[in-house]
């Protein structure tokens, strides 16, 4: 399937866009922050379920199989690809060649009844950070 | 800057007021050169006084400020060639020395922070003219970076304590953080801040909250809510609106430097009795992130994000309806701390 300019093959894996992006699960809901942009995001339950599989580095085919095992009827590949496309658009994940296994969530997002995976965007800080870019760490070369 | 401070400390008519205490587990000293400056900003920082950990007065982080008018020592010029610049109306923050030094310039003050050493040196043009906002929070925006140097993060929240445990009040401005925290102080609980506090982990990996300023600011129409504070308010000169309360001047026993966080509460002022209901950590997370805008002016680190998420994931969160009776509010907050600390 093609998302924008990116074609997602069955073997394609994804990973967290580190170090710009961090994520955690609070009360079963996945929260994600892009530290460079100042945007933060939350996922609904199905989105969180997909997110955990994606950042674990599973290839697309394994993700489709995993959600098909958990849900009846199984969500379509198109629905899942559309969600992956949104995550890519917001630079929350990046294509990777192999699973790096570095992304450990503090608690798993629970797998409840399937619903359309959703990404909510909170841009409250974006304007602020655009005005005042994050202070670089000590030892950074001069801007 | 440090040399000018030493010079000012020598030339000021009165000896510098120095207090040494502990902030976030580290020795922390506050030295104020000039009696007007000590009177103006000392009370908001005075709660940091206490027994130093190491006993070596100059071994820790600290703040050293002088009053230009009292000492006759002008601030040095800020060098050009900054690494990084952020600016707003009436202020400018620049970074120098590959990020080691941070300088905040305002009409009333010049503050230089050495981020590596967690040492802040600054001056105020004339301490006699400082308004309530400057008296309440004299360290302005560089405070958030000073906190980072100490391994803690400044957040927009109020903090109330009781016997070493505390409840963090988070939420939008005007929702009741100051009201609830002053209700608690009025009712005999410990006050650690109404607007700007810090969070971090102690040596045992417990989530703790730290007081940064022992001060609160309130609109004049609210003052009658706390009859016990009558006569303690400092009133502002226009255009400032909020009156200033400095609890150290009348209730130092009700101040604390740090507490282990037992609960989070999202207050809302309600025209009825007090009500506390459990809510989701996610609601508290949104409140914390949304409402720390000014503190986030210099960005958020991954460690700070994880600290916020751990806080809202592991600490029980509540909605707190702040009713009309301050005694009832104080009792409810005290009861909440007791229950969650048990």
Does position B213 have pLDDT exceeding 60, yes or no? Answer: yes
> A126 near A39, Cβ under 8 Å?
yes
All residues of chain A having their beta carbon less than 8 Å from the beta carbon of residue B83 are 136, 140, 142-143
pLDDT band at A111 (very low <50, low <70, confident <90, very high): low
For the beta sheet containing A29-34, the strands, ordered from the edge strand earlier in sequence to the opposite edge, are A21-26, A29-34, A40-43, A119-122
Residues 6+ apart with CB under 8 A from A52: A30, A105, A108, A109
Tell me if B289 and A125 make a contact (CB, 8 A cut-off).
yes
Does position A36 have pLDDT exceeding 90, yes or no? Answer: no
Percent of chain B with pLDDT over 90: 66
3-state SS, residue B3: helix
Q: What is the DSSP letter of B204?
A: T
Res B17: pLDDT = 80
Give the rounded distance of the alpha carbon of B283 from its chain centre. Answer: 24
pTM of the model: 0.88
Residue of B82, B92, B95, B99 to mutate when probing chain A, most A C-beta within 10 A: B99
Residue of B145, B149, B282 to mutate when probing chain A, most A C-beta within 10 A: B282
The more confident residue out of B75 and A131 is B75
Measured distance CA(A111)–CA(B21) in Å, rounded: 49
Determine which of A81-85, A100-104, B148-152 has the lowest per-residue pLDDT on average: A100-104
Res A2: pLDDT = 52
Give the rounded distance of the alpha carbon of A48 from its chain centre. Answer: 8
Among all chains, which residue has been given the structure tokens 């359309």?
A: A116
3-state SS, residue B175: coil
Res B52: pLDDT = 47
> B268 near B171, Cβ under 8 Å?
yes
Mean pLDDT (chain B) is: 89
Does position A38 have pLDDT exceeding 60, yes or no? Answer: yes
- Residue B291's H or E segment, with its range, is none
3-state DSSP percent of chain A in helix, strand and coil, to 5: 30, 20, 50
Measured distance CA(A123)–CA(A99) in Å, rounded: 30
Between A107, A136, A139, which is nearest B84 by CB? A136
* Other C-beta atoms lying within 10 Å of the C-beta of residue B298: 23
Residues in chain A, overall count: 143
| Alpha carbon of A61: minimum distance to chain B alpha carbons (Å) | 31
pLDDT band at B162 (very low <50, low <70, confident <90, very high): very high
All residues of chain B having their beta carbon less than 8 Å from the beta carbon of residue A136 are 83-84, 95, 99
What average pLDDT does range A2-28 have in this prediction?
83
User: Which residues sit opposite A34 in a β-bridge?
Assistant: A21
Does position B308 have pLDDT exceeding 80, yes or no? Answer: yes
All residues of chain B having their beta carbon less than 8 Å from the beta carbon of residue A138 are 98-100, 115-116
| Alpha carbon of B117: minimum distance to chain A alpha carbons (Å) | 12
- Residue B75's H or E segment, with its range, is none
Res A28: pLDDT = 83
All residues of chain A having their beta carbon less than 8 Å from the beta carbon of residue B282 are 26-27, 29, 31, 42
Among all chains, which residue has been given the structure tokens 């417990």?
A: B206
The more confident residue out of B231 and A126 is B231
Measured distance CA(B159)–CA(B263) in Å, rounded: 10
| Alpha carbon of A10: minimum distance to chain B alpha carbons (Å) | 31
The more confident residue out of A29 and B181 is B181
Tell me if A122 and B290 make a contact (CB, 8 A cut-off).
yes
Residues 6+ apart with CB under 8 A from B80: none
What average pLDDT does range B142-150 have in this prediction?
90
> Chain B residues contacting A, CB < 8 Å?
81, 83-84, 86-88, 95, 98-100, 102, 115-116, 145, 280-282, 285-286, 289-290, 293, 296-302, 305-306, 309-310, 312-313
Does position A6 have pLDDT exceeding 70, yes or no? Answer: no
Residues 6+ apart with CB under 8 A from B5: B33, B64, B65, B66, B121, B123
| Alpha carbon of A110: minimum distance to chain B alpha carbons (Å) | 15
Percent of chain B with pLDDT over 70: 94
φ/ψ bin of B14: left (φ > 0), alpha (ψ from -120 to 50), beta (otherwise): beta
Token code pair at residue B173: 């401005």
Res B270: pLDDT = 87
What average pLDDT does range B312-338 have in this prediction?
96
Between B280, B289, B299, which is nearest A134 by CB? B299
Closest among A56, A100, A46, A102 to A76, alpha carbons compared:
A46
Measured distance CA(B2)–CA(B211) in Å, rounded: 26
Measured distance CA(B295)–CA(B50) in Å, rounded: 27
Closest among A15, A29, A24 to A110, alpha carbons compared:
A29
Cβ neighbourhood burial of B316 (10 Å; 0-12, 13-18, 19+): middle
> B60 near B27, Cβ under 8 Å?
yes
Q: Find the angle CA(B71)-CA(B72)-CA(B75) to the nearest 5 degrees.
A: 100
Tell me if A40 and B145 make a contact (CB, 8 A cut-off).
no
Residue of A27, A44, A92 to mutate when probing chain B, most B C-beta within 10 A: A27
What average pLDDT does range B74-102 have in this prediction?
91
Tell me if B282 and A27 make a contact (CB, 8 A cut-off).
yes
Cα atoms in the 13 Å half-sphere on the side-chain side of A78 = 0
Among all chains, which residue has been given the structure tokens 């430097």?
A: B257
By CA distance, what is A19's nearest residue in B?
Answer: B302
The secondary structure of B203-226 as a DSSP string is TTS-EEEEE----EEE-GGGGGG-
> B7 near B62, Cβ under 8 Å?
no
């Amino acid at each position: 399937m093609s998302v924008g300019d990116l074609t997602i093959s069955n073997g394609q894996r994804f990973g967290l866009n580190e170090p710009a992006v961090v994520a955690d699960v609070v009360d079963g809901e996945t929260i994600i922050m892009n530290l460079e942009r100042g945007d933060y995001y939350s996922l609904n339950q199905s989105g969180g379920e997909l997110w955990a599989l994606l950042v674990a580095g599973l290839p697309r085919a394994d993700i489709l199989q995993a959600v098909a095992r958990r849900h009846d009827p199984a969500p379509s590949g198109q629905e899942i690809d559309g969600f992956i496309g949104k995550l890519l658009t917001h630079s929350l994940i990046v294509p990777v060649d192999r699973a790096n296994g570095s992304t450990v969530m503090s608690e798993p997002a629970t797998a409840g009844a399937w619903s359309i995976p959703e990404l909510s965007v909170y841009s409250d800080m974006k304007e602020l950070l655009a005005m005042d870019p994050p202070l670089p760490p000590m030892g950074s070369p001069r801007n | 800057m440090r040399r000018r401070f030493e010079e000012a400390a020598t030339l000021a008519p009165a000896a510098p007021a120095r207090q040494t205490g502990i902030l976030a587990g580290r020795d922390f000293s506050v030295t104020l050169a000039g009696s007007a400056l000590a009177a103006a900003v000392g009370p908001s920082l005075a709660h940091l006084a206490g027994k130093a950990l190491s006993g070596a007065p100059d071994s820790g982080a600290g703040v050293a400020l002088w009053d230009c008018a009292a000492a006759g020592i002008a601030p040095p010029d800020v060098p050009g060639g900054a690494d990084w610049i952020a600016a707003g109306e009436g202020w400018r923050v620049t970074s120098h020395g590959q990020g080691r030094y941070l300088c905040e310039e305002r009409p009333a003050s010049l503050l230089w922070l050495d981020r590596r050493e967690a040492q802040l040196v600054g001056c105020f043009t004339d301490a006699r003219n400082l308004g309530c906002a400057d008296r309440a929070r004299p360290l302005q925006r560089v405070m958030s970076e000073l906190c980072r140097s100490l391994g803690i993060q400044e957040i927009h929240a109020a903090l109330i304590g009781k016997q070493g445990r505390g409840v963090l009040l988070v939420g939008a401005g005007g929702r009741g953080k100051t009201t609830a925290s002053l209700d608690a102080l009025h009712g005999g609980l410990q006050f650690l801040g109404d607007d700007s506090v810090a969070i971090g982990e102690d040596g045992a990996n417990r989530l703790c909250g730290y007081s940064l300023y022992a001060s609160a600011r309130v609109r004049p129409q609210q003052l009658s809510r706390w009859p016990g504070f009558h006569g303690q308010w400092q009133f502002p000169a226009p255009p400032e609106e909020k009156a200033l309360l400095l609890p150290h001047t009348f209730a130092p026993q009700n101040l604390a430097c740090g507490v282990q966080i037992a609960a989070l509460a999202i207050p809302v002022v309600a025209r009825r009795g007090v009500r506390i209901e459990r809510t989701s950590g996610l609601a508290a997370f949104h409140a914390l992130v949304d409402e720390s805008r000014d503190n986030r002016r210099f960005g958020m680190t991954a460690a700070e994000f994880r600290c916020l998420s751990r806080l809202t994931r592991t600490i029980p969160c509540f909605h707190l309806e702040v009713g009309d009776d301050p005694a009832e509010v104080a009792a409810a907050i005290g009861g909440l701390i007791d229950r969650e600390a048990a």
